[in-house]
Amino acid sequence: MTSPSSGGGRPQSIEIDTSKPHPARMYDYFLGGKDNYEVDREAAEEFMKSAPEVRVGVRANRQFMHRAVRHVVAEGGIRQILDVGTGLPTEPNVHQIAHAIAPDTRIAYVDNDPIVSAHSMALMAGTDTSVVLADVRDPRGILDHPDVRKIIDFDRPVALMLVALLHFVPDADDPDGIVATLRDALPTGSYLVLSHATGDVHADRREDAAAVYNSASATMNLRTHSRILDFFGDFTLVEPGLVPVPDWRPDDPDRRQAPPIGIYGGVARKNG
């Protein structure tokens, strides 16, 4: 398999590591997808033993993403989206939601899993999008990547999406510095869409479930509400703030009672 070319160069040969579970492929399995391997399925099933609500949770997180994209495009007037940690494509994806409102919206997808890039490139062919193989732990590399720059004009407002991503970045990798670098690159009028797993809502703090990722290609680092709030920096949260993802502007306010979901989500704007 080859990676996307950078700046018109020849594609580089890359290897897909199937010896360890990968968060994107586990997430795909939780969503009922088929783009995963036995090692991912085994880890996902182990996770569900300690966190049986996970499938409801990832769907709620996905629906939060849908509503957040609609908000920033329809109400915020955003026409550029930088989606970092996009995961395996699941319809409707970001570009489909955005294009249904504003067909001229430009989207750059970024992920560090070559399988994600391969599937995304196949689906995005012929669309006004870019698919980049890169790692959030190198934010400057993302911002300077030629395939990001050909889509995203950082002189105009951008929606930066970090959905279900940062809990895979340990404190040792400086997630605050990573997000600050990305936030600082955005002009006034931009948005940050972020969701993050937490142990706040369960008595056992889902520590056993999170430990399943110790054998994966990225660990899970559950954080508190106040800690997640820090990632928004001086951006202004739109109502209702940082809340469990089912509670962020639900399409059906009278929805049935769901099990507690340990994922917070929020949308914030960079004001001038």
Residues in the chain: 272
CA distance 183 to 259: 33
Measured between alpha carbons, how far is 67 from 81 in angstroms, rounded to an integer? 14
Rounded Cα distance between 244 and 248, Å, is: 7
pLDDT score at 90: 77
pLDDT in single tens digits along all 272 residues of the chain: 233 333 333 334 446 677 899 898 999 999 998 888 999 999 999 999 999 999 999 999 999 999 999 999 999 999 999 999 987 777 788 999 999 999 999 999 998 877 766 655 555 555 578 888 899 999 999 999 999 999 999 999 999 999 999 999 999 999 999 999 999 999 999 999 999 999 999 999 999 999 999 999 999 999 999 999 999 999 999 999 999 999 999 988 666 667 899 999 999 999 97
3-state secondary structure of 39: helix
Could you tell me whether strands 236-237 and 243-244 are parallel, antiparallel, or unpaired per DSSP bridges?
Answer: unpaired
Residue with tokens 């995961």: 87
From the list 60, 110, 26, the residue with the least C-alpha distance to 246 is 60
Phi-psi region of 159 (alpha: psi -120 to 50; beta: other; left: phi over 0): beta
* Whole-number Cα distances in Å, 233 to 89, 104, 140, 245, 268: 29, 29, 18, 20, 9
| 35 vs 195: CA distance, rounded Å | 23
Cβ contact 212:48 at 8 Å: no
* DSSP assignment of 79-147: -EEEEET--S--SS-HHHHHHHH-TT-EEEEEES-HHHHHHHHHHHTTSSEEEEE--TT-HHHHHH-HH
Q: Which two tokens stand for residue 16?
A: 């897909």
Q: What is the pLDDT of residue 227?
A: 98
pTM of the full predicted structure?
Answer: 0.90
- The b/e string for 74-102 (b: 16+ C-beta within 10 A; e otherwise) is eebebbbbbbbbbbbbbeebbbebbbeee
